[in-house]
Structure 1
Amino acid sequence: MQANQNLRAAAARVRQARALRQGAGADRYPELTVGMGPTRQRTSDAGPQGGSTATAWRAQAGISYEADLFGRVASHLDAASADAQQAQALYQSVMLALQADVAQAYFTIRQLDAESMLYAHTVSLRRAGLDLLETRFHEGDITELDVTRARSELASAQSQALEAARQRAAAEHGLALLLGRAPSEFTLAAQELHRISIDIPAGLPSSLLERRPDIAAAERAVAAANARIGEARAAFFPQLILTGAFGYESTDLGDLLRWSSRSFILGPLAGTMLSLPLFDGGRRQSRVDQARARYEEDVALYRQSVLQAFKEVEDGLSALRLLDEQSKTQDVAAASASRAAELSKAQYDAGSISYLEVIDADREVLRHRQTGVRLDGLRAQATVQLIRALGGGWSQS
């Protein structure tokens, strides 16, 4: 969480939204400016002063304030506040997704570790079996066909072990990327995956979904869109802007700060104080229509987010329930396959069956054990997905 670059980018977006909210809040207060400088002016020859030229020095403070008579500033501030809250919720969503991705990448690596250990054990057994068959072949007890088949099965197991190692390296590199580290600088020691057993309380309340950050972000988007409707509607009403300036004015710089040089002005320096729109060809109405359509879009997306959340929770619960039953069934199948392999080897040693049947039985054992390991990995992945779907777990806190 400290080094992931996607999370840092999300945090920067939160700071941007908060800065925009601060800027929107500044509209509630007057704006005060100060300035000083000369003005060079020449009047017309036909004017009352007969074409005189003069320099005027001014040192003034100005003030401007928009009276929020119809809620434009308040609506703009509400929209900016909702945007900031949405950015915060999206940050939490990115963080939750990052935590889930790290957990899933970790369990993927552990599943591949378990498969690698299974392949290593299989390679060891097949190499020992091949040595025994080669000894019996040299003694004339069996034909070369059995030795060739055993050597082929050993090479197949070695190839599968190398494939698992390749997949583990790729998964480890993916985990390093999530952690914000270079793949060449990150290693994770091998460790077998143990079966995860969790106790999910019955009757999880739907209120747990309210804390999901993506749902919170969608709800804040609706609030922001609603506020922007009010901001767009305020454009139909008069806008009152109060302005003023006070300070000193003199044609001589040395007399600029004398008491007799003071001056002031109340009212707009240009334009009017109170403006009322009469006709704009439908521009303001189009903005209102656009704001309302955006609101309807965000409402639909919010409802879709809620439906998607319910689906993900139901998927997680059903997946864990079915995977638990499937794992129990697979354990029985693996035990039966192991017993069948022992019987096949005993029959082969007694000369009642061919070595091909021993190979088939050995393949069944490996296949069932592979399936068991992968089911354990799927249980871990489904657990992470359910925790993510519930916004972090099923604890009421």
Structure 2
Amino acid sequence: MQPRLKHAALFLAMTLQGCSLAPTYTTPTLDLPTHYREQSSDGPWHSAQPADQLSSQWWRVYQDARLNSLQEQLLKANPDLAAALAHFDGAQAYASQLHAGLFPQLTASGQPLRQRQSDNRPLRGTTQPSVYNSNTAGFALNFDLDLWGKIRNQVAAGDARAQASADDLAVARLSLQRQLTSLYVQLDGLDAQRRILSRSLDDYSQALQLTRSRYQGQIASELDLTRAQSQLAEAEAQLDDIRAQRNLTEHALGELVGEPASNFQLAASEQTLNLPDQPRTLPSTLLQRRPDIAAAERRVFAANAAIGVAKAAWYPDFSLTGLLGGQTQGSGNLLAASNRFWALGPLISLPIFDGGRLDGQERQARAEFEEASAHYRGQVLHAVREVEDNLAQLRDLQQESLDEQAAANASEHTQVIATHSYEAGAVSYLDVVTAQTAALQAQRQVQALRTRQLQASVGLLTALGGGWQG
């Protein structure tokens, strides 16, 4: 070959090495608002891209040492998280396998044999021995030139899937942390309900003693006495129900932190969790830090690269092969010139007829890209809805709590008036029971609303990917 032709061929090969048949990748577009409807934003909306996660300890905004300890235990002992970590390790290992295709493959082999050939072997010479030794050792080289970017797109898709698997691990971690925090908030609310009911039981017990004394003194009727007894028993039943709910919640917490429910126990808390202050504005760009959105975007990228792999299968596959070694008949130096063998040359493979297999593979790759793109858009819409839902919950529950607190204050005042009036003989005990029941319900509702506010704050923190501060 002339020098100019050699140079031209080398230039063409180097040019084709940078060729890729994958479509130019762009993140799927979605017509999104520039701010949240439930709360104005301080910046425009941006599409999701893989980004650094927010604070990995977002639950510390609740300033509860026991919650912090449980979260640390979850990260160490939760079996679901361990399974997600193993899946991520497997995805990384698979991506490293794909990277090996970018490099020449060199193998060494050795084969010492003692063999016998058939006496009736076709074309066997009369001087050939029936039993002989054959020692072979050598090296084999294979290198795919990847002129159409098939291997490079496989590597790109594998890397993207490994990144998506890392995001899946973050999704699993965030989901479990949310479950634990939500259960802890629920446990905190049940403890607060227990304290409210315990105080009411003390009041009801004193009221029953007063009514019994008045009944024995023939001041109150038996009807008043049975009403006081019924009210006390009903409050005790409600307290029993709180205990039952708390046991179930405690069991669920034990499972999350990797402990058998039989061994796990949390003492009742005497203080309620603090509701974290919410910033006045939430930038929509924080949504791009959600690991589920980042994982969906990486899978779109991988599907786009897979189209390039499917298209490259239509084109000739060029590879270089080489052999170098030695072979003897049982004795002698394998490296001697007379015992050496070698081979070097290109290998070209071109599909001619496959019954529509390649066409089906390309159509499948394009369909999977459309599926991944649709899933990404759906994930973004779902994320926006989660943020809007929790913003609306926090806003509406705040106003509801203020109204309910006013009702609780009025009910408590009514209870005091009814009790004093009954002691003075101005009203029947039915008025006392009615006032006490209304006051208890109002107090419990105030606490239930606070628990719902805390749950909504957990939802907002996780809906934004783990908080609102980097």
Name the TM-score, length of structure 2 as normaliser. 0.80
Q: Secondary structure at the match of 1:278?
A: coil
RMSD of the TM alignment (CA)? Answer: 1.8
Structure 2 match to 1:18:
92
Equivalent residue in structure 2 for 1:150, among 206, 228, 243: 228
Match of 2:312 in 1: 234
Count residues in correspondence: 392
User: Which secondary structure state, in structure 2, belongs to the residue aligned with residue 91 of structure 1?
Assistant: helix
Question: What residue is the counterpart of 1:111 in the other structure?
Answer: 189
**Structure 1 CA distance for aligned equivalents of residues 167 and 121 of structure 2:** 68
Query: Partners in 1 of 2:407 and 2:270 — Cα distance?
Result: 21
Structure 1 339/45 Cα, relative in aligned 2: closer, same or farther at 3 Å? Answer: closer
Aligned to 2:243: 165
| Structure 1 residue 350 displacement after superposition | 2.3
2:414 and 2:432 map into 1 onto residues whose CA distance is 9
Find the counterpart in structure 1 of residue 464 from structure 2.
390
Deviation of the 1:253 alpha carbon:
2.6
Cα deviation, 1:284-303, whole Å, max 9, x if unaligned, reads 01001001000001100101
Higher helix share: 1
Q: How does 1:235-274 map to 2 (within 5 A)?
A: 235-267=313-345, 273-274=347-348
Shift of 1:265: 1.9
Alignment partner for residue 199 of structure 1, among 266, 277, 293? 277
Amino acid at match of 1:341: Q
Within 2, Cα distance between the matches of 1:186 and 1:207? 40
Which of 429, 436, 439 is the equivalent residue of 1:362?
436
Inter-partner Cα distance in structure 2 for 1:251 and 1:69 = 42
1:213 maps to 2:294: no
Q: Judging changes above 3 Å, is the alpha-carbon distance between structure 1 residues 248 and 136 closer, same or farther for their aligned structure 2 residues?
A: same
SS of equivalent to 2:76: coil
Tell me the equivalent position of 2:255.
Answer: 177
| Kept after mapping to 2: 8 A contact 1:43/1:49 | no
- Could you tell me which amino acid in structure 2 is paired with residue 291 of structure 1? A
Identity over aligned residues, as a percent? 38
The superposition leaves residues 349-384 of structure 1 with CA deviations (integer Å, 9 ceiling, x where unpaired) of 222221112111110001101100100100100000
- Partner residue in 2 for 1:9: 83
Match for residue 420 of structure 2?
A: 346
The alignment partner of 1:99 has SS state of helix
Q: State the alpha-carbon separation in 1 of the partners of residues 90 and 170 from structure 2.
A: 16
Q: Distance in 2 between matches of 1:392 and 1:274?
A: 53
Q: Distance in 2 between matches of 1:248 and 1:52?
A: 21
Q: How big is the shift at 1:42? A: 5.5
Q: CA deviation at 1:255?
A: 4.2
Q: Is the 8 A contact 1:107 1:193 kept in 2?
A: no
Is the CA contact 2:135–2:330 (under 8 Å) kept in the aligned structure 1?
Answer: yes
Counterpart for residue 63 of structure 2? none
Moved more, 244-253 or 110-119: 244-253
Asked if 1:222 is matched to 2:300, the reply is yes
Distance change in 2, residues 1:15/1:149 (3 Å): same
Distance (whole Å) between structure 2 residues aligned to residue 64 and residue 50 of structure 1 = 39
Match of 2:125 in 1: 49
Separation of aligned partners in 1, 2:180 and 2:118: 74
CA distance in 1, matches of 2:231, 2:122: 112
Residues 195-248 of structure 1: per-residue CA shift (max 9 Å, x gap): 644332333221101110000000011011111111111110111222221111
SS of the equivalent of 1:37 reads strand
Measured in 2, the distance between the counterparts of 1:47 and 1:81 equals 54
Match for 2:255: what amino acid?
A: L
| Corresponding position of 2:369 | 295
Task: Name the structure 2 match of 1:131.
Answer: 209
CA distance in structure 2 between the partners assigned to 1:69 and 1:43 by the alignment: 49
8 Å contact 2:188–2:273 — kept in the other structure?
no
1:151-181 deviation digits (Å, cap 9, x = unpaired): 1111100010010001001101111111111
Indicate the residue corresponding to 2:163 in structure 1.
Answer: 85
Go from structure 1 to structure 2 and tell me whether the alpha carbon gap of 1:48 and 1:8 turns closer, same or farther (over 3 Å shift).
closer
Matched residue, 2:66: none
Identify the match of residue 305 of structure 1 among 379, 388, 394. Answer: 379
Alpha carbons 2:326, 2:341 under 8 Å: kept: yes
**Cα pair distance change 1:310/1:96, threshold 3 Å:** same
| Alpha carbons of structure 1 residues 282 and 46: separation in structure 2 relative to 1, 3 Å | closer
The answer to whether the 8 A contact 1:313-1:389 is kept is: yes
Q: Which has the higher contact order (CA 8 A, sep 6+)?
A: 2
Letter of the 1:281 counterpart: G
Gaps of 5+ in 2: 1-74
> Deviations along 1:299-340, whole A, 9 cap, x unmatched?
001011111111111111111111111111111100100111
In structure 1, distance between residues paired with 2:426 and 2:121:
130
Distance 1:117 1:46 in 2: 98
Q: Distance in 2 between matches of 1:55 and 1:252?
A: 4
Deviates more, 1:311-320 or 1:44-53: 44-53
Amino acid at match of 2:338: S
Moved more, 309-318 or 32-41: 32-41
**Residue 142 of structure 2 corresponds to which residue in structure 1?**
64
Distance 1:343 1:352, change over 3 A: same
Letter in 1 for 2:123: G
Instruction: Find the aligned partners of 1:170 and 1:75 in 2 and give their Cα distance.
Output: 50
- Paired residue type of 1:263: F
| In structure 2, C-alpha distance between the alignment counterparts of 1:48 and 1:383, rounded to whole Å | 87
1:30-49: CA deviation from partner (whole Å, max 9, x where unpaired): 22111222454568666373
